[in-house]
């Protein structure tokens, strides 16, 4: 019933079928890696690989077995044992050799997380591309900057988009960096010391990692979850960046503001046909709401006792997938919003003009400071700014009148300087320049990351 808050492909992450396939894939790859290293007979490895390929694991039966044993990995082994006993007994004694149930689940989770990472990175890249395009097109489009939800100075819509694009580029870089440390096979055996595998442990781990396309970290991380949780925390931080973008756009889409609109999609209200609700932004906001709590839950799971957690690890496995799903869904929703985003530049300019120049108060103060001193200039601007809003008259003109009342000459040069200080096209230049600089740095950072990945895949 809550699928309307998620993209169409949201159910492709961490599905039950994927979990089963990943766990069976671990057992098959482990046996083949061990045979490659001379640990188990080749015939046994072939039998185990065949079992993993043909056995159909019933989900409900697996859940029932796991509920009784408390071990999802063990529940997968039982149907494999039954099949081998009946069809290929030469593999039975070597199934799961030197491994433990947490090895199965952790490695399967790493495989599913790798797929989730690629899906998230694709959505982030698409959203970043949209933001970069908006930034280029609107680098010099004046709009109100807002601090503490109040009008501040003039910025540009392009600069806001460039800032979000840069944040997403940093998210992508951090996710990839942490993934290189976290997406590892787990092969620790009963208590993490690989006692059964002995001196062949490193070779088996590397062969297993190669077959599964994961990293071989060289140690067990059964209850040392630091690298794994750092990746999860980067996902949560990414969710925060997406939440910020969704909030900004949602506020700009309020009718009273009306600076942005999502693409029309028909009726979005049962009672009020005129409404044009920001549905994609709503979806992104809804998806990012649980992210901080999920991150806190996962961090709380790090205190796992001794060599195997009792409840903490199991909770981590249960809730970790939700974090990825929520952040991926938020990214997908915002990408959809960005692809059809409509920008009302006239409304942005009208909001600036409606403030009668008070948003240029700093620039006007600086212009008057050589004449009045900084404190005097700020006092004059503050006095006239209140009148500008009350009387709906331009602040620049009120300042000129104030100066004349004080007996100060207002020549053409000063008038020109005050007009320049209150010119939105001049005021936006700093933001336009900052937008261009930020886009260039972001592109350079992305290029450097791609080159580094090509050299160190």
**SS3 readout for 17-79:** HHHHHHHHHHHHHHHHHHHHCCCCCHHHHHHHHHHHHHCCCCHHHHHHHHHHHCCHHHHHHHH
Spell out the alpha helix ranges (H) of 55-156.
Answer: 59-69, 72-87, 101-137
pLDDT for the residue 197:
97
DSSP strands (E only) in 241-321: 260-261
What is the C-alpha separation between 126 and 124, in angstroms, rounded? 5
pLDDT at 268 over 50: no
The encoded tokens of residue 454 equal 């090509």
pLDDT tens digits for 137-180?
999 999 999 999 999 999 999 999 999 999 999 999 999 999 99
pLDDT tens digits for 423-450?
999 999 999 999 999 999 999 988 766 6
Domains of the chain: 1-99+187-214 (1.10.275.10), 100-185+221-354+432-457 (1.20.200.10), 358-421 (1.10.40)
Average pLDDT of 345-349? 98
What band does 192 get if pLDDT is binned at 50, 70 and 90? very high
Bridge-based pairing state of the strands 260-261 and 342-343: antiparallel
Residues with a known catalytic role: 269, 308
What are the percentages of helix, strand and coil residues in the chain, rounded to 5? 70, 5, 25
Cβ 309 vs Cβ 223: under 8 Å:
yes
DSSP 342: E
Q: What is the largest CA-CA distance in the chain?
A: 107
pLDDT for the residue 455:
44
Average pLDDT of 379-407? 95
What is the C-alpha separation between 254 and 266, in angstroms, rounded? 18
- Kindly tell me the burial class for residue 392, based on how many C-beta atoms sit within 10 Å of its own C-beta (0-12, 13-18, 19 or more): exposed
């Amino acid at each position: 019933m809550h699928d309307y808050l998620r993209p169409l492909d949201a159910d492709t992450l961490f599905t039950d079928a994927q979990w089963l396939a990943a766990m069976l894939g671990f057992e098959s790859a482990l046996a083949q890696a061990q045979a490659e290293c001379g640990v188990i007979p080749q015939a046994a490895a072939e039998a185990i690989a065949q079992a993993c390929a043909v056995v159909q694991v019933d989900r409900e039966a697996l859940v029932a077995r796991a509920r009784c044993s408390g071990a999802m990995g063990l529940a997968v082994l039982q149907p494999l044992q039954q099949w081998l006993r009946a069809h290929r007994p030469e593999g039975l004694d070597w199934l799961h050799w030197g491994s433990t149930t947490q090895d199965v689940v952790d490695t399967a989770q790493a495989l599913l997380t790798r797929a989730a990472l690629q899906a998230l990175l694709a959505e982030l890249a698409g959203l970043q591309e949209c933001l970069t395009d908006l930034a280029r097109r609107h680098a010099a489009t004046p709009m109100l900057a807002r601090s503490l939800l109040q009008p501040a100075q003039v910025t540009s819509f392009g600069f806001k988009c460039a800032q979000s694009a840069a944040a997403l580029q940093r998210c992508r870089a951090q996710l990839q960096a942490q993934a290189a440390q976290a997406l590892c096979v787990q092969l620790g055996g009963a208590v993490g010391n690989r006692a059964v595998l002995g001196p062949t442990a490193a070779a088996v781990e590397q062969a297993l990692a190669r077959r599964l396309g994961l990293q071989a970290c060289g140690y067990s991380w059964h209850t040392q979850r630091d690298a794994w949780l750092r990746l999860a925390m980067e996902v949560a931080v990414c969710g925060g960046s997406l939440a910020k973008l969704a909030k900004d756009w949602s506020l700009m889409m309020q009718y009273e503001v009306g600076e942005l609109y999502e693409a029309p999609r028909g009726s979005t209200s049962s009672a009020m046909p005129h409404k044009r609700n920001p549905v994609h932004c709503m979806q992104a906001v809804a998806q990012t709401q649980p992210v901080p709590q999920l991150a806190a839950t996962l961090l709380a799971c790090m205190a796992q006792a001794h060599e195997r957690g009792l409840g903490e690890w199991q909770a981590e496995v249960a809730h970790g997938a939700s974090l990825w799903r929520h952040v991926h869904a938020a990214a997908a929703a915002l990408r959809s919003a960005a692809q059809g985003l409509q920008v009302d530049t006239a409304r942005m300019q009208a909001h600036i003009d409606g403030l009668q120049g008070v948003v240029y108060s700093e620039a006007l103060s600086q212009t008057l400071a050589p004449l009045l001193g900084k404190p005097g200039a700020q006092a004059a601007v503050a006095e006239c700014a209140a009148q500008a809003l009350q009387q709906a008259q331009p602040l620049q003109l009120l300042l000129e009148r104030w100066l004349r009342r004080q007996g100060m000459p207002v020549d053409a040069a000063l008038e020109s300087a005050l007009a320049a200080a209150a010119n939105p096209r001049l005021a936006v230049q700093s933001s336009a320049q900052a937008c261009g600089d930020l886009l260039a740095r972001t592109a350079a950072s992305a290029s450097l990351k791609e080159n580094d990945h090509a050299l160190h895949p």
